[in-house]
Amino acid sequence: MVTVESAGISDVGIKRESNEDRIVIDDAQGLYVVADGMGGHHAGEVASELVVKSICDFLGDSGSWNAAARPPGRLSPRAERLLAGIDWSNQVVHQTATEHDAYRGMGSTVAAVYFSEDTLIAANVGDSPIYLVRNDKIDLLSVPHTLLADLPVDAPVPFMGNILTRAVGSKSAVEAYICELNCFKGDILVICSDGLSTKVTPAEILAITTAQPPATACRALVDLANQRGGDDNISAVVLRVTGVRRNPSSFFGKWVDRMKQRLTSIAT
């Protein structure tokens, strides 16, 4: 069991009239999502809304999750499930975009963190980053799907380098980046839209999120991005892992667990 203290803000920013970002904070499912929609007028809002809704519906439509029921795949069952959810949201957005002229070409990024028993799964499409803060270091758990990121490291920065090379809904199929890692108490995760990540550096995110609890850190991040122009919608989800309880499966681990229980029963 991973327990998480969570907070999230989606802010319209200063320059835009509407908010095309959507966030999901679902502690019951252990699911946290940021989607940044794009497309003319309201289409961006529709795309990001469809993404979060369809992913939540898909992952919530569970039945008892039985890892053994799945054929051995290339990922863990829960990671496969998240990928299937993103795949489904892609189909929903793509279909809506093809059915309605006003929505043609719309799409959305998705950046999702999904907790399992003792791991965290990070998946993304597009340029909404997922950061992991651990051991006073900040690392990226997502891969930016932009023209810029696809170029060799030493190539000159091209004009319009952050045009997305992948988005949810722009094609009939999408391949998300996914990684799964062990979770530790004290880990901090930050999921955001590019409205935040283009204004606030990773070093600043590291400093802000380690200094204060998620709720105030979230506010501070969004305020900072707004102070620096607020050119785009700004969304931030900050998660702090407050505990990871692993199943003790070694003989010694079980023994220690029994001893702990006995001690607490004596103490009470």
Q: Measured from the CB of residue 210, what is the shortest distance to another protein in angstroms?
A: 15
Asked whether the beta carbons of 224 and 98 are under 8 A apart, the reply is no
Q: Measured from the CB of residue 226, what is the shortest distance to another protein in angstroms?
A: 15
Q: What torsion do the CA atoms of 226, 228, 229, 234 make, to the nearest 10 degrees?
A: -40
Q: Measured from the CB of residue 23, what is the shortest distance to another protein in angstroms?
A: 17
Asked whether the beta carbons of 117 and 74 are under 8 A apart, the reply is no
Indicate the residue among 32 and 268 with the shorter CB distance to another protein.
Answer: 32
Q: Measured from the CB of residue 268, what is the shortest distance to another protein in angstroms?
A: 26
> Rounded to an integer, what distance in angstroms lies between the CA atom of residue 144 and that of residue 107?
16
Indicate the residue among 228 and 262 with the shorter CB distance to another protein.
Answer: 228
Indicate the residue among 165 and 202 with the shorter CB distance to another protein.
Answer: 202
Q: Measured from the CB of residue 22, what is the shortest distance to another protein in angstroms?
A: 12
> Rounded to an integer, what distance in angstroms lies between the CA atom of residue 61 and that of residue 203?
38
Q: Measured from the CB of residue 58, what is the shortest distance to another protein in angstroms?
A: 6
Indicate the residue among 76 and 216 with the shorter CB distance to another protein.
Answer: 76
Taking CA atoms, 35 is separated from 41, 86, 168, in Å, by 17, 11, 9
Indicate the residue among 250 and 268 with the shorter CB distance to another protein.
Answer: 250
Burial class (CB in 10 A: 0-12, 13-18, 19+), 13: buried
Q: Measured from the CB of residue 259, what is the shortest distance to another protein in angstroms?
A: 13
> Rounded to an integer, what distance in angstroms lies between the CA atom of residue 108 and that of residue 124?
11
Indicate the residue among 70 and 219 with the shorter CB distance to another protein.
Answer: 70
Contacts of 15 (CB under 8 A, 6+ apart): 229, 230, 231, 232
Indicate the residue among 28 and 68 with the shorter CB distance to another protein.
Answer: 68
Residue labelled with tokens 């045009």? 163
231 residue type, one letter: D
